[in-house]
Structure 1
């Protein structure tokens, strides 16, 4: 009898641990959304790895700027080269200046996709109505989790926030994916 109780307790503990590990990024994502909607900068600072988020945003925006520059240059190699030379420092400066707890809050509240010329919305950007914003969640491996935010008025403009595991149950917003894989 005692052996069955111990075995049952161990199985329950393992199942509970597995459920907690699985659910933890969902709870973090919801905490980020709540903090953003409430404008709680202190809560966001606890949930965001700002150096990693800035690096990811810079990389994504530079890639997007490169594509836009090539499209706009229309074969003019000199103009494209000049644009490719000037874009990274401009993106880097904008990201460094605007990616703050308030900027991340505005980004999450608005659900708008960052652009090279505007990495985050203005701090006073109103929240998109909850009923007009859709969220979906997906694991992208054991230690990466994607939260996709889509607005009803811009269905093709997805904001994909990347959370990364920082401990068994601890997740941080550490990146953004502006060119999501269509297979995800």
Structure 2
């Protein structure tokens, strides 16, 4: 009788470990599903819940400053340009890396820190001066197709989702079953 009880406890423990391992392994897909759902609902709080904004800003700043340093010549003006870039990088990245910015990247399948472009239906000119401006809510145009992503683990603590443009969203583990978007890797052009 004690032998059966030991086997039952062992089987229960192994079963529990398998369930924990399987759900932990599947947790990145749940995180991505929550992020995509928040983007589709235009839910800024839902997007924010899936993002570690300080880590994401640091990731973008380091890549931005690194690309500026690689593109600089060895002349005196390059040093001035780099100093200026460091001075404007913080406010620029803070403005770009926001719930709306992350949502746009996820929705369109592109990892970029470029200024958002105007919609095709939005006029680029100001309204005529003789007519009062009409305040219409911004028209949101979803992408023509749903972007596809490739997910791959980078060890126990990280996984990356490669977007259509070759850039990646990098998620960091924030618990056994939860993850946060903590960085991006810009596409190599």
Per the normalisation by structure 2, the TM-score is: 0.76
Match of 2:34?
Answer: 31
Higher radius of gyration, 1 or 2 = 2
Q: Kindly provide the CA deviation profile for residues 22-67 of structure 1, in whole angstroms up to 9, marking residues without a partner as x.
A: 1112211222122123311111111111111111111112112323
Change (3 A) 1:171 1:2: same
Q: More helix per residue: 1 or 2? A: 1
Q: Kindly provide the CA deviation profile for residues 84-106 of structure 1, in whole angstroms up to 9, marking residues without a partner as x.
A: 12212222211112322112111
Identify unmatched segments of 5+ residues in structure 2. 119-137
How far apart, CA to CA, are the structure 1 residues paired with 2:139 and 2:163?
19
Match of 1:146?
Answer: 160
Spell out the pairing of 1:99-178 with structure 2 (5 A cutoff): 99-115=97-113, 118=114, 126-131=141-146, 133-150=147-164, 157-178=165-186
How far apart, CA to CA, are the structure 2 residues paired with 1:141 and 1:125?
37
How far apart, CA to CA, are the structure 2 residues paired with 1:112 and 1:124?
20
How far apart, CA to CA, are the structure 2 residues paired with 1:160 and 1:147?
5
Question: Is contact 1:35-1:41 (8 Å) kept?
Answer: yes
| Paired positions, count | 166
Q: How much does 1:179 deviate?
A: 6.1
Q: More strand per residue: 1 or 2? A: 1
Instruction: Compute the RMSD of aligned alpha carbons.
Output: 2.4
How far apart, CA to CA, are the structure 1 residues paired with 2:11 and 2:144?
46
How far apart, CA to CA, are the structure 1 residues paired with 2:175 and 2:42?
26
The answer as to 2:24 corresponding to 1:21 is yes
Identify unmatched segments of 5+ residues in structure 1. 151-156
How far apart, CA to CA, are the structure 1 residues paired with 2:95 and 2:144?
27
Which residue, out of 47, 50, 61, partners 2:50? 47
The alignment partner of 1:172 has SS state of strand
How far apart, CA to CA, are the structure 2 residues paired with 1:92 and 1:121?
21
Question: Is contact 2:109-2:148 (8 Å) kept?
Answer: no
